[in-house]
Amino acid sequence: MVAGFFLISLLFVCGGVTTIDVMRYASVQYSILYQEFLDSQGKFYPFYGYPLEEDWVSTGPINGFTPGFFPGVFWNLVEYNATREDLKRAINLTAPTAVFPNSTSGINTGNIGFVIMSGFGHGYRLLKLPEYLDVILTSANTLASYFSTVVRCTKPWNDTGTFLMYIDFMMNLEILFEAANLTNNQTLFNIAWQYANRTMYDHFRPDNGTYHILEYNKTDCSVLRKYTAQGNIESIFVDFTGCLYL
C-alpha cells in the first residue's frame, strides 16, 4: 500500500499533474465513498484499502483511530473549493464522531485528538460553529481527565499495571493546546506542556528518532522499557515522528 502511494505520487509529479487535478480526483473518489456511507446508513467509515481490492476495510464513527479522517478530507475539499454538496457531506460525516471520546469502543484516549480535530477542528476553524467548539472543549476535558500527574502524560487505554506511552499519543497535543487557547484555560495548557516535555526528554533517541512505546512505572515515573511494537525492536518508529515537529 505504501509502495503504491509513492508510485502514484511519483506519477503525479513526473506527469505534471496540478493541485487542481489532484483535488478534483479526490473529490470524485471520495464522493464514491460518501455514497457507501449513505448506503450503510452512516456505518461506513473507510479504514484502509489494498490497491488490488475493490472494497475498503471499514470501521464506524466511534471505532479505531481513523473515523475523523473521512470528514477531514471533505473539510479540506470545502476549504479548497467550497460547494454546498461537499459542505453537506463534511457536516454529515463529522456529526456521528462527536460521541467518540465517551463511547465504550472509543475510550482509547490516544485517539481522541486524532478523531475530533480532523473533523470538528477543521469545521470550527472554517465555520466557527459554537456546537463544534462545545465538542472540542468537551473532548479536550475528557482527555485531560486521564492525565497522570505522576507520569505527566494521559493514561493509555491498556492499563496493565504499568503505564504504556505511545509516541502516537502526541497527536493529542493539538486538541489540548487549541482548547486552552480558545478558552484561556491554563490547566489544559499546563497538561499539554508537561505532556510534550515528558515526551521530549524520554521518547527521543540521540539521533532524534523516536521509540514507539515507553513503559513507565506509574507510581514513581521511572522508565522500565523503551521499545518498538511495529517492526524491528531497535528500529526508529517513523509513522508519527513527523507529527511531533508540526
Q: For every one of its 246 residues, what pLDDT tens digit does the chain have, with 9 covering 90 and above? A: 444 444 455 555 555 667 778 888 889 999 999 999 999 999 999 998 888 888 899 999 988 889 999 999 999 999 998 899 999 999 999 999 999 988 755 456 778 998 999 999 999 999 999 999 999 999 999 999 888 888 888 876 656 677 888 888 888 899 999 999 999 999 999 999 999 999 998 898 888 888 888 988 888 888 889 988 766 555 555 544 444 444
pLDDT at 21: 81
Model pLDDT, residue 125: 97
Count the neighbouring beta carbons within 10 Å of the beta carbon of residue 127: 14
How many Å apart are CA 233 and CA 213, to the nearest integer? Answer: 10
C-alpha span between 185 and 188 (Å, rounded): 6
Alpha-carbon radius of gyration of the chain: 19
d(CA 238, CA 116): 23
pLDDT at 130: 97
What pLDDT is stored for residue 165 in this prediction?
85
User: What's the confidence (pLDDT) of residue 245?
Assistant: 42
Rounded-to-10 torsion of CA 228, 234, 238, 239? -20
In which residue ranges of the chain is CATH 1.50.10.10 found?
Answer: 1-137
pLDDT tens column, 218-233: 888 888 899 887 665 5
Spatial CA neighbour of 66 closest among 37, 51, 41, 45: 45
CA-CA-CA-CA torsion sign (50, 80, 115, 224): positive
Q: Give the bridge partners for 223, in sequence order.
A: 216
- pLDDT recorded at residue 7: 47
* Model pLDDT, residue 233: 52
Angle (CA) 212-218-224 rounded to 5° is 50
Instruction: Dump pLDDT digits (tens) for 168-185.
Output: 888 889 999 999 999 999
Instruction: Write the CATH number of the domain with boundaries 1-137.
Output: 1.50.10.10
